[in-house]
Amino acid sequence: MAETADARHRLSVSYERVTIRAMDKTVTIRLARAQDEALTARARSQGKTRSQLIRELIDRGLEERPLGRRIGHLKGCLDVSAPKTGWQKRIKARNWR
């Protein structure tokens, strides 16, 4: 991917097409020092600018996914002891999951 001199436009070239995406909106946020340092470190480790990384993180955060896909990695992680009291046994017996 090649970038134009104008920081608001990004030019990406593939074998069959050229895409120009205009970046026309600026958002200013305040970060704690620790957040700023972590953001800078992650961007460097991935070979990206801070702005590129922030745009990717925002895209991921705005992505609509069903709850099952968002928490699927937690399946089977909960270790619950066997029910001891009568009401706990009734709840377990009625829980179809």
Ramachandran sector of residue 76 (left: φ over 0; alpha: ψ -120 to 50; beta: rest): left
Task: State the chain's mean pLDDT as an integer.
Answer: 80
Give the span between the Cα atoms of 28 and 30, in whole angstroms: 7
pLDDT surpassing 50 at residue 45: yes
**Could you tell me if 52 and 43 are in contact, meaning their C-beta atoms sit under 8 angstroms apart?**
yes
DSSP string over 27-50:
------HHHHHHHHHHHHHTT--H
> Which pLDDT tens digit goes with each residue over 56-75?
999 988 888 888 888 888 88
pLDDT grade for 18, boundaries at 50, 70 and 90:
low
pLDDT of residue 46: 96
Give the span between the Cα atoms of 28 and 51, in whole angstroms: 11
Amino acid, single-letter form, for residue 90? R
Say what the pTM is.
0.49
